[in-house]
Amino acid sequence: VPQAGVIVVGGGQGGFQVAASLRDEGYTGPVTLVGDEPGLPYQRPPLSKAFLFGKAQQSHIELRPRSFYAARNITVVAPDRVTAIDRAAQCVALASGLSLPYDHLVLATGARARMPALAGSKLHGVLALRSHADAAAILSRLQQARRLVVVGGGFIGLEVAAVARQLGLEVRIIEMADRVLKRAVSAPVADYLAAALILRGVGLDLDTGVTDFTGTEGHIDGVTTTAGEHVPADLVVVGIGVEPHVELARDAGLAVQDGVLVNAYLLTVDPFISAIGDCARYPAVHAATLVRLESVQNAVDQARCVAARLVGRAERYSKLPWFWSDQGDNRLQIAGIAATSDSVVLRGEPTSDKFSVFRFGDDSRLTAVESVNSPADHMAARKLISGRVPVSPEQAADEGLKLAGLAALATL
Ligand SMILES: Cc1cc2nc3c(=O)[nH]c(=O)nc-3n(C[C@H](O)[C@H](O)[C@H](O)COP(=O)(O)OP(=O)(O)OC[C@H]3O[C@@H](n4cnc5c(N)ncnc54)[C@H](O)[C@@H]3O)c2cc1C
């Protein structure tokens, strides 16, 4: 009987990695990657960084050249969309009319940028940033724009603000919370990154929302804030978070709750369907709860876990989450998952532009480390947390103590 093989829905970071890892693992059946964006799988992180300087071409951000897929017998179907899953028949329907059978289906559908339901949000020049197409649209406008308003002080908003400022634009960030990166990092790190942007001339309005976008002849000319101010802008980038693409799973009767729900093996309730990356919510060993993460590491490591399972090496997914963000000259790296209530211990001084924040949970266990321009702390932190090496707040704060030495205990 010919094998139907593995179909991967979504040609992003996770989808690419499932296909590549299946071949690395020696899987010999058909592997088909269906993606609704044109072109080959590419990396998103540069889209809010180097790409906006106008130097990177699409081929520079592609994860692999076309020859890679041919050499590994990976079929890339793009652009095309999976519109429905027939779980009983084990096949998917595509927008083009194709119907493809599968032995196993991997949902790697990612997420879409949220847009506010406000007057004027459809004006030209109001853009979100998720895809290469979005970034290309922002790039073409950045070259003529003088005033940028960034709605939302999250990672993408801050990264875009830093680049635009370097390009000489007037930049204003409007953030509803009382600080930037509120859900993502501790106050000292958020405050440091905000101060760095302000020092470079970026405006930052905290505790402020946007009530509407105003335009002239269909083009953005400003935003009105909850403080009643009209801020002029010829470009607006909205970075207020994402919504996972779950419709396909939901319509197929799979459990969905801000993400496709999967078990510790990244399997849905259907033993022939897995879900990974930005679209999946999984029971995280490192958080003692269900989480849906949005990071390259998460997509890549989950893809590898699924590929290994599909060749008969099933293991619970237990990788330590880590993340990075570049904001101008500053590099933030995060290891682990902190709860907002976790305590905060500084290692080094923010005034030195190099420091880390160690987060400790209620049980005094190290949960996460946020490092600013301190890659050695980050690398040690990954080992300390994943190896569950006991670290005290005093040790964390003691810059004289070599973390690498402590981390070496993890492998003993
Ligand atoms: C601008 C930007 C900057 C980022 N910077 C960083 C960073 O610095 N560090 C970091 O760790 N992470 C960063 N990320 C996050 C990281 O890129 C994502 O976490 C990662 O791409 C998730 O991979 P994924 O495969 O789950 O989803 P995606 O990469 O989003 O891929 C999903 C793909 O599936 C497609 N799709 C959806 N539904 C269907 C369907 N029905 N049929 C066919 N195709 C479908 C989507 O169009 C998309 O192409 C950044 C993200 C963005 C947008």
Mean pLDDT, residues 346-362: 97
Task: Determine contact, residues 330/373, Cβ cutoff 8 Å.
Answer: yes
Ligand 1 centroid, distance to 405 Cα (angstroms)? 36
Ligand 1 centroid, distance to 155 Cα (angstroms)? 14
Residue 408: the pLDDT is 86
Nearest CA, atom 19, ligand 1: 295
Mean pLDDT taken over the chain:
96
Ligand 1 centroid, distance to 226 Cα (angstroms)? 31
Residue 333: the pLDDT is 98
Q: Which ligand 1 atom sits nearest the alpha carbon of residue 129? A: 1
Amino acid at 28: T
Residue 411: the pLDDT is 66
- For a pocket test of ligand 1, which of 273, 296, 331 has the largest count of ligand atoms closer than 8 A to its C-beta? 296
Q: Which ligand 1 atom sits nearest the alpha carbon of residue 34? A: 43
Nearest CA, atom 50, ligand 1: 45
Mean pLDDT, residues 193-221: 97
* pLDDT tens-digit map of 135-193: 999 999 998 999 999 999 999 999 999 999 999 999 999 999 999 999 899 999 999 99
Residue 310: the pLDDT is 98
Pairing of strands 343-347, 31-34: unpaired
Ligand 1 centroid, distance to 13 Cα (angstroms)? 6
Treating both helix axes as pointing N-terminal to C-terminal, what angle do 155-166 and 187-199 enclose, rounded to 10 degrees? 20
pLDDT of residue 412 exceeding 60: no
Reported as a pLDDT band with limits 50, 70 and 90, residue 231 is: very high
Q: What is the dihedral of CA 308, 312, 317, 319, to 10 degrees?
A: -40
Ligand 1 centroid, distance to 112 Cα (angstroms)? 8
Q: Which residues line ligand 1 (CB under 6 A)?
A: 9-15, 34-37, 44-45, 47-48, 81-82, 108-111, 129-130, 156, 245, 248, 277-279, 294-297, 299, 323-325
> What distance separates the 2 farthest-apart alpha carbons in the chain?
68
Ligand 1 centroid, distance to 10 Cα (angstroms)? 9
Nearest CA, atom 4, ligand 1: 45
Nearest CA, atom 7, ligand 1: 45
Q: Which ligand 1 atom sits nearest the alpha carbon of residue 83? A: 41
Mean pLDDT, residues 374-394: 95
* pLDDT tens-digit map of 255-281: 999 999 999 999 999 999 999 999 999
Q: By percentage, how much of the chain surpasses pLDDT 90?
A: 93
Cα atoms found within 13 Å of the Cα of residue 17, Cβ hemisphere only: 22
Mean pLDDT, residues 80-106: 98
Report CA-CA distances (Å) from 39 to 35, 329, 361.
Answer: 9, 31, 44
Ligand 1 centroid, distance to 364 Cα (angstroms)? 34
Who wins on pLDDT, 362 or 276? 276
In whole angstroms, give the CA distance from residue 312 to residue 173.
Answer: 49
400: Cβ–Cβ under 8 A, 6 or more apart, which residues? none
In whole angstroms, give the CA distance from residue 78 to residue 107.
Answer: 16
Amino acid at 132: H
Nearest CA, atom 12, ligand 1: 295
- For a pocket test of ligand 1, which of 52, 109, 276 has the largest count of ligand atoms closer than 8 A to its C-beta? 109
At 82, phi and psi to the nearest 5? -80, 120
Q: Which ligand 1 atom sits nearest the alpha carbon of residue 110? A: 27
